[in-house]
């Protein structure tokens, strides 16, 4: 459901009239940018409703980047509303993709954007956040949740080290004959929890979370030199969400997006 906040005809006319001329002042430039951002947000929300998740994410991400790049001063008016709508929509996109960490991250950003929470549907937003917290706990990422502040801690090296420490060693698991399910050798039951895999050199190679023998949740792999190779998310054994693969320079290019194991493509014209 598109977030119910619409600019009045007067507001749109006012923004249209403030499109900058060659001698426009910074305020007029910001007003014109807000109008374009508003139109872009409407397009992104429509793309989301049509199931075009790649396009919706690109549209929202582009204007959040432009807002930061232009350095406009945040305000409690239209800028706040559009920022809220942007993070709220990103939260919903990642929710559909079953990437609970990114979804929760963006819902929390939306919540923190609101100077007056009564302007928004607080109950719905809190419901989304609580649901992501629950999913994160099911995916072995509960340690990232700050229950006191109702916030998320970063996926940093300290957290990764703590997970590697408790993860089952690859020698403790096996794969069923059909190659579909990971089982604990000791019990031959489908395994739930973290598993760590190593390069022949002894360096960490992969860290994967499983649920009932299927990949479910966060995945991370490393090159033999210790640099990150790739990051992914799985849901019931199928790849979902963003899947960046990192080059020798440590950067990821053309990050693909998956849902239910299938590669998603942007709408033509938004590549």
Are 187 and 66 found together in one domain? no
- pLDDT at position 160 is 96
Joined together, the tokens standing for residue 138 give 């099911």
- For residue 47, what are the contacts with CB-CB under 8 A and spacing of at least 6? 53, 55, 56, 59, 267
Question: Residues 19, 96: one domain?
Answer: yes
- pLDDT of 15 over the 60 cut: no
3-state secondary structure of 237: coil
DSSP state of 18: T
Each residue of 110-155: pLDDT tens digit? Answer: 999 988 777 778 889 999 999 999 999 999 999 999 999 999 999 9
The Cβ of residue 147 has, within 10 Å, a number of other Cβ atoms equal to 8
Cβ count within 10 A of residue 186: 9
- For residue 269, tell me if it sits in a domain: no
Residue 225 burial (C-beta neighbours within 10 Å; 0-12, 13-18, 19+): exposed
Confidence of residue 96 (pLDDT cuts 50, 70, 90): very high
Task: Please state whether the predicted TM-score (pTM) of the whole model is above 0.75.
Answer: yes
On whether both 124 and 176 belong to a single domain, the answer is no
Task: Please indicate, yes or no, whether residues 13 and 134 belong to a single structural domain of this protein.
Answer: yes
Contacts of 171-180 spanning 24+ positions with Cβ under 8 A? 176/213, 180/213, 180/214, 180/237
Query: Hey, what are 128's tokens?
Result: 């989304």
CATH of the domain at 130: 1.25.40
Task: Write the pLDDT tens digit of every residue in 152-211.
Answer: 999 999 999 999 999 999 999 999 998 889 999 999 999 999 999 999 999 999 999 999
Within a domain: 59:
yes
- 201-258 pLDDT, tens digit per residue, is 999 999 999 999 999 999 999 999 999 999 999 999 999 999 999 999 999 988 999 9
Q: Of 73, 106, 138, which residue sits at a domain end?
A: 138
Q: Specify the number of domains making up the chain.
A: 2
> According to DSSP H, which parts of the chain are helical?
9-17, 26-49, 53-70, 78-96, 100-113, 122-138, 157-166
3-state helix, strand, coil in the chain (%, to 5): 45, 20, 35
What local confidence, expressed as pLDDT, does residue 39 receive? 96
226 found inside a domain:
yes
* Mean pLDDT, range 263-268, rounded to an integer: 85
d(CA 233, CA 203): 22
Same domain, 164 and 134: no
- What does the pLDDT read at residue 156? 95
Q: Considering just the CA atoms, what is the radius of gyration of the chain in Å?
A: 22
Pull the structure tokens for residue 268. 């033509």
In this structure, the answer to whether residues 38 and 86 fall within a common structural domain is yes
Which bin fits 237, alpha (ψ -120 to 50), beta or left (φ > 0)?
left
**Where in the sequence is the domain holding 133, given as residue range(s)?**
9-138
What φ, ψ does residue 261 adopt, rounded to 5°?
80, 0
pLDDT at 78: 87
* 248 domain-assigned: yes
């Amino acid at each position: 459901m598109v977030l119910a906040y619409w600019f009045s005809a007067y507001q749109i006319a006012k923004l249209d009239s403030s499109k900058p001329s060659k001698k426009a002042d910074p305020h007029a430039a910001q007003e014109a940018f807000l109008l374009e951002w508003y139109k872009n947000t409407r397009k992104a929300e429509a793309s989301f409703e049509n199931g075009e998740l790649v396009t919706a994410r690109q549209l929202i991400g582009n204007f959040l980047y432009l807002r930061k790049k232009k350095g406009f001063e945040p305000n409690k008016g239209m800028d706040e509303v559009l920022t809220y709508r942007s993070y709220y929509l990103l939260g919903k996109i990642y929710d559909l993709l079953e990437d609970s960490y990114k979804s929760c991250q963006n819902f929390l950003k939306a919540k923190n954007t609101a100077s007056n929470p009564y302007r928004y549907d607080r109950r719905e937003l809190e419901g989304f956040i609580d649901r992501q917290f629950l999913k994160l706990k099911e995916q072995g990422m509960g340690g990232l949740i700050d229950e006191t502040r109702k916030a998320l801690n970063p996926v940093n090296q300290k957290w990764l080290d703590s997970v590697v420490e408790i993860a089952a060693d690859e020698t403790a698991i096996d794969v069923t004959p059909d190659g579909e399910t990971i089982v604990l050798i000791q019990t031959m039951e489908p395994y739930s929890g973290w598993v760590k895999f190593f390069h022949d050199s002894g360096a960490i190679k992969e860290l994967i979370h499983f649920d009932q023998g299927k990949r479910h949740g966060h995945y991370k792999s490393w090159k033999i030199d210790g640099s990150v190779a790739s990051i992914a998310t799985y849901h019931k054994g199928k790849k979902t969400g963003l899947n960046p693969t990192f080059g020798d320079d440590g950067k990821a290019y053309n990050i693909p997006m998956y849902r239910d194991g299938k590669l998603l493509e942007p709408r033509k014209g938004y590549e």
